[in-house]
Chain A
Amino acid sequence: MGVIETRAALHVPAPAPGDAGARRGRREPVSILVAALGGQGGGVLTEWIGDAARRDGLVAQSTSSPGVSQRTGATTYYVEIAHAPVAGEPPRTLGLLPVPGRVDVLVCAELVEAARMLERGFATPSRTTVIASTHRVYTTAEKSSGADGRVDEARVLAAIRALARRAVLVDLDALRIAHATAISAPAFGALAGSGAVPLSRAACEAAIRATGKGVDGSLAAFDAAYAIASGDARGEPGAKDRGGRTPAPILPARVDERVRELPPGVSALARLGAARLVDYQDERYASLYVDRVTRIARLDVDVAAAAARELARWMGYEDAIRVAAIKARRARLARIREEASAGPADIVRVREMFAPGADEIAAVMPAPLGRWIEGRARRGGPRRGVSVETSSFTGALALRGVAALRRLRRRSLRYGREQAAIDAWLAALERTLGAPGGHRAALALATLPALRRGYGETHARGLARYDAILAAFCGRVGSDAEGAALALERDRDAALSLPDPEPPVPAAGPQPLRFVRKA
């Protein structure tokens, strides 16, 4: 759960935890900057620091600028700890704001907040002990991207390691959850345990007890973080491993045989894809998938690997039948029960938030009927929601009924269209691989189907953009493969990261204008 890294070239040994003597003789106050998000308990943390300092015969002064930051914004707190004034001497003037290059301890209750502090010069290798939580609370900008907009955590960690005199990296949020407390408690523990502040453990614990609220959880989280920061404990590093390896799925014998014949770089992905499509449709559909992957693999292994991933997703497109099949599973209800931490005596109801539109209904109908429905469908405008309770008999049965349409899927309107588009894409891949400079261009083209995603209007826009980008690519790739690939990647990334429609441009005319039908 945490790691501590001390700079190799450190001449001054890190002071023993709580050793006020380490700071004796130094008349400059110890400065602590806390970077947090509104609502993480930064105010409580600074109060604890002040209380503990007083118990240890020191004086502490803290300030903050909460303002509106309690509403999820970034915020900072600043504390200075100094020796109590000798009788007759005026009290030392303590600072209200952190000074870059003069911060002794930087406590960050979230990883990117640490990066923000580094950016502002609040950590210097000669001075600053950086205590940073390794967990993430993503910013709106990171979450808004339709691709992957997340800040690279490895870069932040590298920057902390480079700029800290000593880095204490702990998943404070995991400790918070484990001990059902606020993040201020493990942060206080890490601070006290780091030995970078002249506070005794007893004084810190007394300060927590004096709060009188949620004391047990806070103390437990404090202890756990203290142990990690002081080097007494080494939680399990890599608690944030992304998923880990899942065992290779088992395939029907005939499909399995064909997957094994694929080149090593392709077969693992193709195995996952084939298993998905067995679940999605049947063995025959999985075979069709393997056929298609094999076609490309004969020409180019790298392109086939990229294509295998996209093709599996594409062939397993999310129509109403698939949605119902995913929702209507007993194991899913069990998972939701578990996530809601429902006890055996608790009643759990699960309602699906659907908004079926004519397009989605047309998509799963036999092609002629689907086209007929589509022709009469009204587009746009707010939809009416339909809630289906999967945890009820009728709701479950209804979903099961829709999922059973799987047997008729091959005749459905959307199936025909998707297969035609897949064949066109495969043909374009083959043509591209035959052209000069085709390998690079085909690699780009292999990822294009990522645009065909989502539901409703998002899906329709994705298809339109896909068609436009594919057409432009095909028109150019024969003469300028490199340029075509670059243009495709640029347009693809733009469409992926911001798939929203442009708002319509209002037509000229006097107001009020009427753009909608009157109800």
Chain B
Amino acid sequence: MERSFAREVDQLALGAGETFRGEGIVAVTKALLQSGVAYVGGYQGSPVSQLLDVMVQAGDLLAELGVHVEPCTNEAAAAAMLAASVAYPVRGAVTWKSIVGTNVAADALSHVGSPGVVGGALIVVGEDTGEGSSVAQERTHAFAMKSSFVLLDPRPELQHLVDTVEAAFSLSEASHAPVMLQLRIRACHLQGSFVARDNVAPAISMLHHAEAAPVDIGLIPHPPSTFAHERLKVAERLPAARRYIAEHALNERFGAEGEVGAIVQGGIWPNLVQALVVAGLAADDGTPRLPVLVLNATYPLVPGELADFCRGKRAVLVLEEGHPGFIELELASHLAHAGVSCAIEGKEAMAQAGEYQAEAIVGGLSRFVAKHAPALASGAADAWRNEVDAARALASELLGAPVPARPPGFCIGCPERPVFSALKLVERELGPRHCAADVGCHSFAMFAPFRIGHTIAGYGMGLASAAAVAPFQRQRVLATVGDGGFWHSGFLAGVTAAVKNGTDAVLLVFKNGYSSATGTQELVSSPAGGSRSDAGGASATASDATIEDVLAGVGVRWRRTVHTYDVAAMARTLAEAFTTDEPGLKVVVAEGECQLERQRRHKPRLARMAAAGERIELARYGIDPELCTGDRSCVRLSGCPSLTVGPSPDPLRTTPVTMIDAECVGCGLCGSLAQVAALCPSFYRVEVVRNARAPERFLARMRAWAAGAALPGETPWA
């Protein structure tokens, strides 16, 4: 990738006593080095991509420490890396986006979880639910429970996060269980500071090699070892984890004493504080007026700790995000066993699902307090509620209509947009067809103006998810996949299965060169560094044929690679794929480099050339306002953010004209669509040559003079 994390890399090198300033996820990365990890792996995804991105760019520092970094092909591969800590006393960490990545990793997790670890093993999972995320709110908690992992959900404050990471390794070693550290998106992007400690070089590492360990049948998942594993999990590892959690006071108590209290996951503690302040249940400085138990370790729970907290209380409110309420259920069981009588309110008082932001918590708190501690109730929550309701009502009355949504979309110059334009054109001729979509930037085509894509069944699952649809569709089905998804699992789950089973479908592979939606990480098929610098401002992806080669290798007979900006060729090729008599899988590789990467490479290069007085050529597009009739076919076919509307300069026109704003990167899609789809003749391309040499300038001046002489001078209308 072209993006630089130099500043973050500097932060990783800080020594004891220095102040780290930066994002939560980078703080966790630094904490890994402070904990002496020997290896780090993972698969990119919001909100934990940066952990790996920063590590990848911190090559020198890691080489010095002997830490191996492995950006994996998918989460299962990352989870399998933990096998190093099963067989050797080395610390290691892997990371991915949950719940999706945890699902992918599940098989390897079970196999690592069963024998247990001798070196501290940490899994950093980024929870990307809510706030416009594409990920289902399913609970990582369930995975920790079923695999007997420890699950940490730390209070999001940088120093605390770092301390928790360091404790997690000791906890993992003390219990022999892998530890999962759960970070919500806002915690990953939290900007704060903490006091650094020195990085620790691992004892066994790239620098200090170890001999192969003796083979231990007890580590292999075959009977009778598996039976021993089951017993070890419940009889030794979980109890050891509980002991460590209790002895090191990983869970915290805040607030005053009282007859009612709250138990909260550490990750949503700040939301609870905000809610308590709003409801008048906390002092202005945020100190709760009721006792709160903050669970930084949410699995396993420590029964004694819970019983102690609840003993003598009339009721507790459990604040636990997501469904089902595991903590609430487990708490009820523990209290019953301990003979503590204390009412438990959880999902009954709170929302069953959804994010527990302050607003949702205020509602639950109010219901809880009204029922169990009316003496604590003040009018504060109601007053706040009324004010917010009134503000919203006034806003919607004055605005008159709901504010139009602004979902993410394709960047200006994105090479994927032209493919969907071509699909729309083909649809006009051949009619609509089922599209099994996939995860990645290309899934934005489900939004306006394209609205292409029926289902998404997982990352890399586009073609696999068409397997049962294809046989009953009148029209041949289309499946999409990005190159990221292709290598993550699409090639195996989709392509090889379709070839083997003779699936009659069309697969569209977006070959943009990187895993772009997660931050343009490198893939096995990313264009080589050399070919990128050779490409300059042009697309570099044509230089790599790894995807085409493996398609050929597994026997895909009908294959076409088309450069995406050639809309006519793309439309022709797709139409052919949809109608050819060729049986089996048809694959169209849509080649065009991610525009973000291209611009990151090209812009500094252009700036350097301009500064050095070298000849540079720039292109952009324009629309003649006199000729635009405002039907906006171009917007609906292209969806380019640069294509916008503005007041018509024509006093006879009352509707806005379409125009191209200054952000245009000159990709040419709009102009080419205007031609291919016969939209309108108002588009024009402007090419500017700067720093041309004298002969070229002279020639150009002659041409301009001649052209000027051929043209009349008057303006179209006043």
Contact = CB atoms under 8 A, between A and B. Distances in A.
A290 to B, nearest CB: 15
B712 A330 contact: yes
B401 to A, nearest CB: 8
A276 B652 contact: yes
A459 to B, nearest CB: 8
A21 interface: no
Contacts of A329: 711-716
A26 B284 CA distance: 8
B652 A67 contact: no
B228 interface: no
A269 B626 CA distance: 17
A101 B644 CA distance: 34
A458 B474 contact: no
Contact of B572 (A64, A349, A382): A382
A305 to B, nearest CB: 12
Contacts of A63: 186-187, 189-191
Contacts of A94: 270
Contacts of B225: none
B681 A352 contact: yes
- Number of chain A interface residues as a range: 35 or more
Contacts of A381: 429
Interface stretch (A182-190, A223-231, A430-438, A498-506): A498-506
Contacts of A47: 191
Given A93-B270, A140-B448, A453-B631, A67 B131 contact: yes
B652 A348 contact: no
Interface stretch (A295-303, A366-374, A391-399, A418-426): A391-399
A61 B21 CA distance: 11
Given A27-B284, A353-B671, A312 B410 contact: no
Nearest to B449: A144
Contact of B635 (A144, A312, A343, A353): A144
A391 B131 contact: no
B432 interface: yes
Given A381-B429, A455-B681, A347 B688 contact: yes
Given A329-B716, A351-B685, A383 B632 contact: no
A113 B404 CA distance: 10
Interface stretch (B82-90, B237-245, B554-562, B692-700): B692-700
**Most A CB atoms within 10 A — which of B187, B406, B578, B708?**
B406
A346 interface: yes
A500 B636 contact: yes
Nearest to B444: A71
A327 B710 CA distance: 12
Contacts of A320: 681
A8 interface: no
Interface stretch (B100-108, B273-281, B531-539): B273-281
B242 to A, nearest CB: 26
Contacts of B271: 95-97
Contacts of A343: 690
A100 B567 CA distance: 46
B493 interface: no
Contacts of B692: 345-347
B620 A116 contact: no
B575 interface: yes
Contacts of A272: 651-652, 717
A453 B630 contact: yes
B433 to A, nearest CB: 8
A512 B580 contact: yes
Contacts of B700: 347
Interface string B649-692: 10111111010001000000001101111111101111111111
Interface in A495-519: 499-501, 503-506, 508-509, 511-516, 519
Interface string B385-410: 00111011011101111111111111
A146 B186 contact: no
A446 B705 CA distance: 46
B479 to A, nearest CB: 15
A64 B579 contact: no
A236 to B, nearest CB: 18
B190 A138 contact: no
B689 A346 contact: yes
Interface string B593-632: 0000000000000000000000000001010101101111
Contacts of B476: 511-512
B718 interface: yes
Interface string B405-419: 111111100000000
A273 B652 contact: yes
Contacts, number: 438
A155 B645 contact: no
B-side interface size class: 35 or more
A99 to B, nearest CB: 4
A95 B681 contact: no
A339 interface: yes
Given A163-B395, A454-B680, A67 B133 contact: yes
Contact of A515 (B430, B656, B671, B716): B430
A456 to B, nearest CB: 4
B212 interface: no
B652 A119 contact: no
Nearest to A336: B686
A5 interface: no
Given A64-B189, A330-B708, A351 B632 contact: no
Given A50-B191, A332-B624, A512-B476, A385 B403 contact: no
Contact of B474 (A395, A454, A509): A509
A323 interface: yes
A355 interface: yes
Contacts of A325: 716
Contacts of B655: 147-148, 450
Contacts of B647: 242-243
A68 B440 CA distance: 10
A336 B684 contact: yes
Give the most central of B133, B408, B629, B692: most A CB within 10 Å: B629
Contact of A351 (B409, B630, B684, B697): B684
Contacts of A74: 405-406
A121 B395 contact: yes
A328 interface: yes
B147 to A, nearest CB: 28
A384 B568 CA distance: 8
B475 interface: yes
B641 interface: yes
A339 B659 CA distance: 12
A123 B633 CA distance: 37
Contact of A101 (B47, B156, B391, B444): B391
A507 to B, nearest CB: 9
A282 interface: no
B600 to A, nearest CB: 12
Contact of B624 (A50, A327, A397, A457): A327
Contacts of B708: 330, 333, 396
Contacts of B171: none
A346 B690 contact: yes
B697 A347 contact: yes
A145 interface: yes
A399 to B, nearest CB: 8
Nearest to B676: A382
Interface string A248-277: 010000000000000000000100110110
Contact of B581 (A144, A331, A512): A512
B93 interface: no
A209 interface: no
A263 to B, nearest CB: 18
Given A137-B644, A515-B430, 10 more contacts: A67-B132, A67-B408, A97-B358, A116-B403, A124-B391, A336-B622, A336-B686, A348-B688, A450-B655, A455-B680
6 contacts: A63-B187, A101-B278, A112-B403, A349-B689, A353-B684, A455-B629
